[in-house]
Amino acid sequence: MTDEPIQEAAAAPKREVQTLYVAEAEDGIRLDRWFRRRWPHLSNIQVQKMARSGQIRVDGARIKPEGRLTAGAAVRVPPIPDDTSRQAGDVHTLSAQDIKFAKSLVLYEDDMVIAINKPHGLAVQGGTKTSRHVDRLLSAWGEGMDRPRLVHRLDRDTSGVLLLGKGPEAAKRLAGAFARRQAKKTYWAIVIGNPKPAAGQIDMPLKKTGINDFEMMRPADRKDPRAEPAETAFATISRAAHRASWMALRPFTGRTHQLRAHMAGIGHPILGDPKYGDEKSKELSGPLKLQLHARRIELEHPSGGMLVVEAPLSPEMKAGFAHFGFEEAEGNESDPFEGVRRQR
């Protein structure tokens, strides 16, 4: 779904103290792993030293390197040492073309919030093999206090609405809304076959298996200590005979790959998904890319009132709609989840 743990390019070393917020899908991650995801050049010893000396704090309190983080928590990040294996400045400086590209993604912007339409294939954060990602592109708005903050994530191949907070206070409020499950997120997906019933809720715990690029979420027994509760509402918008269905999906929890794992778990994988698809869905997908799009997000604006943002279909989703004959107007008639609430 929404929140693939992303292992790509290193975040730029900072020479000042920062406050970063734990993303929704990072709930439960170890502190040392959280740091290493952002700054892969840091050694375990460096992270341990910063934590044990009190330079790293979470919500104002000390934490051990193996301590677990909760979604929305504020992490005090001390100045990060440079990655001496890289030539200073050559990776993190944005070109005029990068800045133009970043600004072209904006769907909505005010003094506290930026909403962008993340394209398919663009990672949200970086790791050792990816130098172009949303987090790096945020430098288009400036550095330090002017630099927007990530408050949630989308999978690399999921397109659609991604919210950013301008300044630490806005980021804290937005991240808190995601952590408390107050954001109403609606995704559009094309899946193989026709789910029956046509609408309902999936209450299927998931657990992580594998590592790095081979990491997957699989259905788990509720008694398994590694199982994470996961709930998703679904509703069929349109059907292409018995071949495929256009679905609206609403996650009530924010597990890694949740929507992809849940639809595969009920026997209707999302088309174009190389990780969770089966042989039949892969055959039906043909050249189509992942047919999953963060269409709409609704939550309280940090300054009050409601913020509602919709993202137009990506080229990849448009290709899927054209292939199966779906008309976008069918999905704009009403809210398929009006009155639907989390079961647990």
Residues with active-site annotation:
155
Which residues are CB-neighbours of 208 under 8 A, at least 6 positions away? 215, 216, 217, 226, 256
Which residues are CB-neighbours of 322 under 8 A, at least 6 positions away? none
**Cα torsion at 82, 88, 92, 98 (round to 10°)?**
180
Query: How far is residue 81's CA from residue 84's CA, in Å, rounded to a whole number?
Result: 9
Query: How far is residue 22's CA from residue 179's CA, in Å, rounded to a whole number?
Result: 9
Query: How far is residue 248's CA from residue 330's CA, in Å, rounded to a whole number?
Result: 11
Query: How far is residue 185's CA from residue 249's CA, in Å, rounded to a whole number?
Result: 8
CB 142 within 8 A of CB 150: no
Q: Is 88 exposed, middle or buried (0-12, 13-18, 19+ CB in 10 A)?
A: exposed
CB 191 within 8 A of CB 181: no
CB 301 within 8 A of CB 307: yes
Query: How far is residue 44's CA from residue 215's CA, in Å, rounded to a whole number?
Result: 22
CB 10 within 8 A of CB 126: yes
Closest CA to 101 of 45, 157, 140, 147: 140
CB 125 within 8 A of CB 8: yes
Burial 91-104 (b: 16+ CB within 10 A, else e): ebeeeeeeeebbee
Q: Is the peptide bond before 13 cis (omega within 30 degrees of 0)?
A: no
